Amino acid sequence: MKTKHFYSILCALSLFCALCVSCSSDEDFFYQDEPRVRLVGEKMWAAGTDSVTFSFIAYPAETVEKTIYVDAQIMGEVADRDRTVNLIVDPQLTTASASQYTVPTTVIVPAGQAKGTFPVVLKRDASLEKKGVRLCLKVAESGDFKPGVNEENHITFIWNDILSKPNNWADLEPFFGTYSNVKYRFMLLNLHADDGELSTETMSWAKLNNLKIRFQNALNDYNAAHPGNPLTDENGNLVTF
C-alpha cells in the first residue's frame, strides 16, 4: 500500500513539473520585447518577400501612377490608443527620384488594431521605358514603436515600364503555361481594358480559364494568318496556352 501511495505521489509530481515546463514554454512563445513594426506588401505584388515588383507595361498609356498598399504590422500587443509609425526613405538604397513616388512619413495604427495600412504611389514617366528604379522604405523609431528585425523593417519597390516576368507568374502558370516575354506581350495585347490585373487574388478560376481560351483563340488566328511562321518566343519555342 505504501509503495502504491509513493508511486501516486511521484506521478503527480512528474505531471506538475511537465505542466510547469509547458507553461513556461508557452510564455516564451509570446512576443515580450518592446513594441516593434514590420512592413508587409500586398501578396499579389510582393509574393511573400520584402520586395514589390511592378511594371507599367501591362497598363494603357493613360495610366500614369499605381497605388500599392502596405501593412505596418505590430510586433507585440494591441493598445487602447492610436499609435504612430514613422517611415523614412533610405537614400543609399533608393534610385527613384522624389518626383517618381509619393509615400507618407507617418502611419497610424488605430486603437485595438494590430496594423495600420498606408498607400505608396508609384509614378510613370518616360525614363522607365529604358531603366527601372527602386525605392527602399524603412521604419524609423517613434515614441510608440521601434523598427522590427532587419529582414522585416523595410520594403523595397522596384518598378519600370519594360516587359518583365510578373512576380505572381507561379500562380498564373497553371492557366497559361511556361513564361516567356513573347507570350506575355501577346497576352497583354489581347487583354481588354475591363479585364483587370492578371491575378488569382482578384480573378476567379472561371475568369482565368476564359482568358486562357481567349488567348488560345487569338493565337490560332495569328498562326493561321502567318502560315509556316507560327508565333515563337525568344527561346525558339512555339508559344502555347
What pLDDT sits at residue 45?
64
Q: Where are the domains positioned within the chain?
A: 1-30, 36-160, 169-225
**Residue 83 DSSP code:** E
State the CB neighbour count (10 A cutoff) for residue 47: 17
144: cell is 510608440
Q: Is 143 exposed, middle or buried (0-12, 13-18, 19+ CB in 10 A)?
A: exposed
What pLDDT sits at residue 32?
57
Question: Could you tell me the mean pLDDT of each successive run of 10 residues in the chain, 241 residues long?
Answer: 49 48 41 80 70 86 92 92 97 97 97 96 95 96 86 88 89 96 92 85 94 97 95 95 95
Q: Which residues contact 14 (CB under 8 A, 6 or more apart)?
A: none
Pick the CATH number of 36-160 from 2.60.40.1740, 3.40.50.150, 2.30.30.30, 3.30.70.1070: 2.60.40.1740
Query: Can you tell me the distance from the alpha carbon of 42 to that of 206, in angstroms, rounded to the nearest whole number?
Result: 23
In b/e form, how buried is each residue of 176-197, taking b as 16+ CB within 10 angstroms? beeebeebbebbeebbeeeeee
What pLDDT sits at residue 21?
43
